Amino acid sequence: MANLVTTHRTSLQGEDVIVRAVQYFTNEKWRAQSQSGRVATFQGKPPIPWFLLFLTVIAFMCFIVPGIIMYFLVIRRVYRFVNLVVTANPLQPGSEVVINYPKHARRLVNTFTESLPPLLVSTQA
């Protein structure tokens, strides 16, 4: 499964962005794996598709061996830990936030980046 990357510029300093990221993502069922002044890594599990769950239950009801095969080959492979990494790179007036995340966390990352104050660059002559 390929990860997606998004970049956002904010007026907050890097440490403040990381603190906000830890508070936000831990409230959304992501477990903080590591944290430093510029990088925070979170660990979570993707949702299991209902169709695969349905097929596994049907396989268990038909016969035990197909259910066990479905469980080990499909469900266990899909339901593994994935990482979400938030990196804050310093800029002169604020910081640039780079988030590397799995596809199923797209909506969560979008709401986090929208909650950050934007970087307002004033051009004075």
Q: CA angle, 11 as apex, 6 and 14 as ends, to 5°?
A: 70
Give me the number of domains the chain comprises: 2
Q: And the tokens for 42?
A: 């979170």
**Residues 92 and 120 both lie in one domain:** yes
Listed in sequence order, the DSSP H helices in 3-92 are 14-27, 50-62, 64-70, 76-78
Same domain, yes or no: 31 and 86: yes
User: In terms of pTM, does the model score above 0.75?
Assistant: yes
Interior CA angle at 114 toward 29 and 41, to 5°?
A: 40
pLDDT over 80 (residue 121): no
Domain span at residue 26? 1-45+82-125
Q: Indicate the average pLDDT of the chain.
A: 86
Confidence of residue 74 (pLDDT cuts 50, 70, 90): confident
